[in-house]
Structure 1
């Protein structure tokens, strides 16, 4: 900062150009704000699930997590469609994912039934949250390093956190249909899901799957049937989808081993090293 006398001498005989207020800030296109807005809405829905869990409004709590998952699946495609992907959006999305699908489901499971085990139940919830953080940290490092993937894009390294949150709240969804609660079932879901999230176990993801044209009609018809059942019987449909996803793990393991044996990595390393 210049002294007041030097400021007067410096600006003596000069006129400052007048800059209108709306030109003092660089304008940002609306399309660049839309993906981050969707991410923030997903973050709001994930946080909203926590007070619902405190009030024991379990259907509203689980629905908030599911809506956050839907919004999380939209922000990336919207950003790529509008050609406005950025590192800021990627970091914001990762932070929102940890809160929506790591912290919020762990708290819901503790409020639901794991509080009966006291500190041990809370430790299980912390384990799940830490595994989700490790999964997201590994995903970010792979994105920043830009290293090549040893497997096709329809494989994921470990269970994604969005699917992991659904598996974590599966006992809560189970109680909606069968009116039963089980502390052991809830604890096993959190522990097993956390291990598979933090591991390098290959799992299928739908975004990288390419549909053969002759099977496109069957895929579209099956999707419509799933949507209809999801509208009529949402909780039962989610339970079936969760079981089908867990049942696909042996198939994904076998498919990954077959792919690595037919087409090994260029560096000579296995996918599981």
Structure 2
């Protein structure tokens, strides 16, 4: 029998690599909640900036988890809760305090719809994690608009007001239907492009890096103009994503009639798909 000093001890507590991505997620949640604080103070640009920071951190936590091999069920649940608040509740309250409160009943109902639909989207995502056949996912597409992008799109009237100064974009008659449309897109079955499924060819990697640098410079020098342009480009891509998915589906049905597509190794759900 081994002496007590040589016996293998069972490790206790969580390893540091499992905590690191959760810290990033918690910071994203703090940024989303801080956006509400700035909205209460009527500091609208700071409020929107906090939501953008939350979006960046939300994209980083999954990357950090994969790099340190710190994926966990706890982290996935915390990420969903953070997303529901940062990209559902916070943008809804910011938009309500900024514009929708001028139409109290319909405005509050619209804010509620946006927040609840965001939560429903995240619940649908979590429910589908263990589902074997996910046609959109296996084909490299997402189902509906992800929550971070939905929050960014919903705040498009804010971007337009910041750089144009036009009061029309703050009118509840404009903001209310716009927010409702984005909420419907989040829970819809529309096929949208998945950035995590994109693969760059070797000969265009330098050009892609240059585009990222230019985009970063544009966000720093003219953030509201750039965010407006990004929203317009994303919305303009929706018809192409729908058409592309239909083409992929027809090809699969022709190759294997009556057989549902099975997910491949690259179809595992990730943080960007929420």
Interval containing the TM-score (normalised by the shorter chain): 0.7 to 0.9
* Match for residue 211 of structure 1 among 195, 200, 203: 200
Q: Does 1:252 align with 2:241?
A: yes
Matches within 5 A, 1:218-229: 218-229=207-218
Matches within 5 A, 1:1-273: 26-143=12-129, 145-151=130-136, 152=138, 154-180=140-166, 181-264=170-253, 268=259
Query: Whole-Å Cα distance in 2 between the matches of residues 266 and 30 of structure 1?
Result: 48
Deviations 1:200-239 (A, max 9, x none): 1011121210112222222222222111111111110000
1:234–1:81 Cα change, 3 Å = same
Q: Is the 8 A contact 2:139 2:248 kept in 1?
A: no
Moved over 4 A (4+): 265-270
2:268 aligns with none
Secondary structure of the residue aligned to 1:120 is helix
Q: Is the 8 A contact 1:171 1:186 kept in 2?
A: yes
Unaligned runs of 5+ in 2: 1-8, 262-274
Query: Whole-Å Cα distance in 1 between the matches of residues 108 and 22 of structure 2?
Result: 32
Secondary structure of the residue aligned to 2:135 is coil
- How far did 1:184 drift? 2.3
Please identify, of 228-237 and 103-112, the stretch whose mean Cα deviation from structure 2 is larger.
Answer: 228-237
Secondary structure of the residue aligned to 2:219 is helix
1:76–1:122 Cα change, 3 Å = same
Q: Is the 8 A contact 1:153 1:209 kept in 2?
A: no
Query: How many residue pairs align between the two structures?
Result: 248
1:225–1:67 Cα change, 3 Å = same
Query: Whole-Å Cα distance in 1 between the matches of residues 217 and 50 of structure 2?
Result: 20
Deviations 1:42-67 (A, max 9, x none): 11111111111011000110011010
- How far did 1:154 drift? 3.7
Q: Is the 8 A contact 2:133 2:260 kept in 1?
A: no
Please identify, of 240-249 and 209-218, the stretch whose mean Cα deviation from structure 2 is larger.
Answer: 209-218
Unaligned runs of 5+ in 1: 1-22
Q: Is the 8 A contact 1:106 1:129 kept in 2?
A: yes
Larger Rg: 1
Structure number with the bigger relative contact order (C-alpha 8 A, sep ≥ 6) is 2
1:28–1:167 Cα change, 3 Å = same
